Amino acid sequence: MATSPSELVASPSLHKDGVSGPPFPRVLIANRGEIAVRLIRACHELGMEAVAIYSDADVCAAHVRLADRAMRVGPPPPAESYLRIDAIIQAALQAGAVAVHPGYGFLAERAAFARAVEAAGLAFVGPPSESIDALGDKLHARRTARSVGVEAVPGTLEPAPIDRPDQVDAIMADAERIGFPLLVKAAAGGGGRGMRRVATPAELPAALVSGSREAASAFGDGSVYLEREIRPARHIEVQLLGDVTGRVVALGERDCSLQRRHQKLVEEAPAPGLTTEDRRHLHELAVRVAAAAGLRNAATAEFLRAPDGAFYFLEVNTRLQVEHGVTELVAGFDIVREQFLLAAGRPLSEAALAAAARAAEPAGHAIEVRLSAEDPGRDFAPTPGRVLRWTMPSGPGVRVDTAIEAGDRVPAEYDNLIAKVMVHAGDRDATIDRLRRALDETEIAGIQTTLPFHRFVARDSSFRAGDLSTGWVAEHWDGPAEYRKAAEAAQLAAGLAALDAALTAGAAMIPADPVIAGVHPTGNGRWQRSGLEAAQDRWPR
């Protein structure tokens, strides 16, 4: 008789020594790119088979080659492939998978997807659908925080009644109570979509309408609410794990303050400048909210830290975070491995409990930079295309999570993240030194990436000093006209240096396109150095 998926989940095998074996025999990875590769590797380390899904744009992708089996789910547009719940469930059942890991992005925080996985008799590797429903609604999460004595960012706790003309005065009264400037925010999503900054009362009506429309388009829910803008602020999040017994622990915090348009660019653990008492207090606040919501598996509670040092609860992300790796490096603990064990119904492991016990007194420091196919010199515009040269750093304390190789094409249809470069060292200064070295070793040609921006960060004195806020990028990279002029001049100087070198060496000895050929135009590296010093990458074709 055939064994059903639910029976396989409920009956994990045992090794001959009596220790429980793989949490699941076969897992479908409902994602692509570097996170799919990360999850597939975790499956193989746990002795589980991994099933990949792919669109027509990803037929030859790394996650497809690495998996034990791959299932096509549709054409390149996400709505026709990676966002098709029915196609993904069908692929899982057809492949004989008994669990589904959503990674992050795409369907990871869609309660409807988690419910469909559960209804199919499969295990969802993440918080259950009811937790995603409860915590995915920011207003519900804010009310949950208040119920357990955790202060959220001052604002409203119910949706703004923008379809009720008779409530205009009430909305204005709420806004005056909160104070200007304030933010209009979407209740059902994040990433800055549906968010509007309102500096004066006159701007509020239009911001409510446009924010609601964008939220409805992005999340299928146009509910918006009002929240005080805290500036300058630091964005600090706490990594959480919960099991079926109701136990919730914090593995440490990460500083994600370096953002642009509410998109994170650099993350580090632990958050600089916090005392042991600060950390214990912050971790306790996060655990309190998560426990009240019945958290299981992995999630992250996000907070803003005000200039006076107060922590204000923002929201809970009910999924694995892009930046989970820096916590893994500092904690010495594999979060993804634990996710699979928790999804199989096992309690928090001894390793997880030990990592939580030392979280307030971390040993070492880790920083992650997100390399994306974007041009930081042109307002971070997307730059899809073919990668012609791809050299990632290595050496002590360096970890690179990627699914890209030389010759691969970065599709225009998906997120621009192509690699995460992480470094780990004994303290923050040493970690920044290691980051600078690692980024100087990195070489990418064919497309422009955010590498120049990250080299700039690694050399910036205010970043080293820990002078961080969510406005840092706007102030230090986007803002100063003097920097832009200097960067343009340095780029021109780099080109002239390359030309001088070609003339000196003789045109016949220099390839027509030295960047693509992977040959430095000069033996002494003047052209390379001038580009590095100006935070300008090699010119793509």
Catalytic residues, which ones? Answer: 319
User: Six-digit token pair at 83?
Assistant: 């966002």
**How far from 271 is each of 54, 315, 391, CA to CA, in Å?**
37, 18, 30
User: Six-digit token pair at 435?
Assistant: 């980051």
- From the list 167, 119, 122, 168, the residue with the least C-alpha distance to 24 is 122
DSSP string covering 72-87, please? EEESSSGGGTTT-HHH
Helix or strand run (H / E) with residue 279: helix 276-292
Q: Give CA angle at 52 (49, 55), nearest 5°.
A: 170
- From the list 95, 61, 59, 63, the residue with the least C-alpha distance to 74 is 59
Tokens 């499969």, residue?
A: 122
Per residue, the 3-state secondary structure of 172-224, as one string, reads HHHHHHHCCCEEEEECCCCCCCCCEEECCHHHHHHHHHHHHHHHHHHHCCCCE
Helix or strand run (H / E) with residue 420: strand 417-425
Tokens 């803003």, residue?
A: 304
Distance (Å, rounded) from C-alpha 480 to C-alpha 460?
14
- From the list 38, 40, 45, the residue with the least C-alpha distance to 22 is 45
Helix or strand run (H / E) with residue 440: helix 428-441
Distance (Å, rounded) from C-alpha 30 to C-alpha 39?
10
Segments of 24-139 assigned E as strands: 26-29, 49-55, 69-74, 99-101, 123-124
> 352 and 332 in contact (C-beta within 8 Å)?
no
**Cβ within 8 Å of residue 60, ≥6 positions away:** none
Distance (Å, rounded) from C-alpha 478 to C-alpha 260?
9
Distance (Å, rounded) from C-alpha 121 to C-alpha 102?
16
User: Six-digit token pair at 7?
Assistant: 């029976």
User: Six-digit token pair at 405?
Assistant: 């190789």
- Which burial class, exposed, middle or buried, applies to 534 when counting CB atoms under 10 A from its CB (0-12, 13-18, 19+)? buried
Q: In this structure, are strands 99-101 and 26-29 parallel, antiparallel, or unpaired? A: parallel
User: Six-digit token pair at 124?
Assistant: 């969802």
| Residue 398 CB neighbour total at 10 angstroms | 18
User: Six-digit token pair at 74?
Assistant: 């549709």
